[in-house]
Amino acid sequence: MAANDLTTLADVKAWLGRTDSNSDTVLTALITRASRQIYSHLQRGLILPHGVNEVRDGTGGNALVLKQWPVLSVSSVTVGTLSIQPAPAVSADPDAGGGPGFCGGAGWTCETWDGTPPGRPQVLSLSGYTFGRCFPSAQNNQNVLVVYQAGYQISAEAQSVAAGSVTTDAPYGPWASDEGVTYANGTPLQNVAGSPAIGQYQLSATAGVYNFNAGDNGAAVLISYGFIPSDLADACIELVSERFKYSERVGEKSHSLGGNETVSFDNSRLTPLVAAMLQPYRRTVPL
């Protein structure tokens, strides 16, 4: 599976009912091309966890809709030469100076993703500042920098090591990338290529399976990993399968079977089923 592919060769072959390897090369290439076609249709570059350095024009307002989603965390917000800190937590203490709900200070806040796909673009808001125009010495062109982490991720899934391994739950779609393992107390484990010692883990050849040292049996661990939403994985399988079958009827829109039955084909770039699965994940508002 190439980086950023939306499905696996095994899943496509299972859907097509193929057990031989005669078409593996063609199907593998189709998976990568279909994945890029889907990204293009969604108007999104990546969906797995990745770092983003987003540069924007100052608007003079106090809110920006970030381009990548779901946003997992924000590292820094800079407007002009000013580094803006996170806003203090909301306080209900009347002694904080403003009564119930008083924030107690200026800074940035970002809408929180609820953890379920498809999600939606999130708003970064400023309290006590604006994006650009409140700094006379700064130019308003490309003067806002937001550094953040975005992508579909299960964070800190609680598991217990049994028989030297753990299989992730992957409730919203297939496992796709490792984002780290810690013990329940927060102590990180090290990812290794060979046989793991205590305090280490190894990624199995089976996606979503983590191997541990027998000495860690019974240990409570927290596993974070990127996943491909099931809708996107299924859409890619459908698209690859359609393109694979299309090679047997290139340009054909319909044909007659013995003059008694006519079979019609949908030769659209994306079938209505695939387009419907992709729609909730598509960027629709230009930023």
Note whether residue 99 is domain-resident: yes
Can you read off the two tokens belonging to residue 159?
Answer: 């598991």
Give every CB contact of residue 84 below 8 A, 6+ residues apart in sequence. Answer: 77, 78, 107, 108, 126, 129
Give the residue-averaged pLDDT of 142-161. Answer: 96
pLDDT band at residue 136 under the 50/70/90 scheme? low
pLDDT at site 142: 86
Task: Provide the percentage of residues in the chain whose pLDDT is more than 70.
Answer: 82
Q: What is the pLDDT of residue 261?
A: 65
The string of pLDDT tens digits covering residues 172-208 is 999 999 999 999 999 999 999 999 999 999 999 999 9
Give the pLDDT band of residue 102 (cuts 50, 70, 90): very low
Domain for residue 248, yes or no? no
Helix/strand/coil for 34: helix
Region 23-27: mean pLDDT is 95
Provide the pLDDT for residue 139. 55
Residue 9 φ then ψ, to 5° = -60, -40
Residue 134 pLDDT more than 80? no
What is the predicted pLDDT for the residue at 141? 78
Which domain covers residue 65, as residue numbers? 50-150
Q: How far apart are CA 19 and CA 8, in angstroms?
A: 14
Show the beta-strand stretches assigned E in 42-143.
Answer: 50-56, 63-65, 71-79, 82-84, 107-110, 123-127
Q: Quick one: pLDDT band at residue 133, thresholds 50, 70, 90?
A: low
Domain contains 120: yes
Is residue 139 in some structural domain? yes
Q: Is 90 exceeded by the pLDDT of residue 135?
A: no
Kindly list the distances between the CA atom of residue 93 and the CA atoms of 85, 90, 106, 177, in Å, as whole numbers in the listed order.
Answer: 22, 9, 17, 42
Per-residue pLDDT reduced to its tens digit, 196-245: 999 999 999 999 999 999 999 999 999 999 999 999 999 999 999 988 88
For residue 70, with 0-12 CB atoms within 10 Å meaning exposed, 13-18 middle and 19 or more buried, which class applies? buried
The pLDDT of residue 117 is above 60? yes
pTM: predicted TM-score of the whole model, two decimal places: 0.86
As a whole number of angstroms, the distance between CA 103 and CA 194 comes to 49
Per the structure, the count of domains in the chain is: 1
The proportion of the chain whose per-residue pLDDT surpasses 90, expressed as a percent, equals 72
Domain annotation covers residue 179:
no
Radius of gyration of the chain (CA): 24
**Residue 114 included in any domain:** yes
Q: Encode pLDDT of 44-86 as tens digits.
A: 989 999 999 999 988 889 999 999 999 999 999 999 889 999 9
Whether 97 is in a domain gets the answer yes
**What integer pLDDT is reported at residue 13 of this predicted model?**
96
